[in-house]
Amino acid sequence: MSVILALAPLVAAVGCGGPEREIRSSLSNADRQRFDLGQRLSTPCWSCHDLYGQQNKVGPYLAGVYGRKAGSANFPGYSQAMRSSGFSWDERSLRSFLLDPNRLVPGTTMVASGPRGPAEVDALVFYLKHVSQAVSRKLRNP
């Protein structure tokens, strides 16, 4: 764990074309650690989701997901459960979904996604929120 945490800033500094670098430089040390942990925990998500653009994969694109109505991206593969869930993605709903997708959206086709416990899910949501908001701004003002 500590080795991975020590490497995370390095990985983040090398970057991946996203807004991470800019976001990190605006954060306090404690928040930067949270952000880096969240980024590390998000790695498995990107085989099924696009965070930077609007490409659909196995799952809907997550660019701009923060504040978006659940099940409302231009993605044909949503479950009926997600389409008709009727809430928006905020810190609370993301935390709940990422800890236990099927509990928040019974019948969702997304299975458990990785974070274990409150500290991990908090970091993951912190990361998603920051990147998603930066990407939304970029998509609005390219």
63 touches ligand HEC (CB under 6 A): no
Rounded least distance, CB 129 to ligand HEC, Å = 11
Q: Which of 133, 122, 45, 59 is nearest to 91 (CA)?
A: 122
79 touches ligand HEC (CB under 6 A): yes
Give the separation between CA 12 and CA 31, rounded to whole angstroms. Answer: 14
Neighbour-count burial of 80, counting CB atoms closer than 10 A to its CB (0-12 exposed, 13-18 middle, 19+ buried): exposed
Rounded least distance, CB 113 to ligand HEC, Å = 4
Candidate residues 4, 58, 119, 139; the one interacting with ligand HEC per rule CB under 6 A: 58
56 touches ligand HEC (CB under 6 A): no
Rounded least distance, CB 3 to ligand HEC, Å = 21
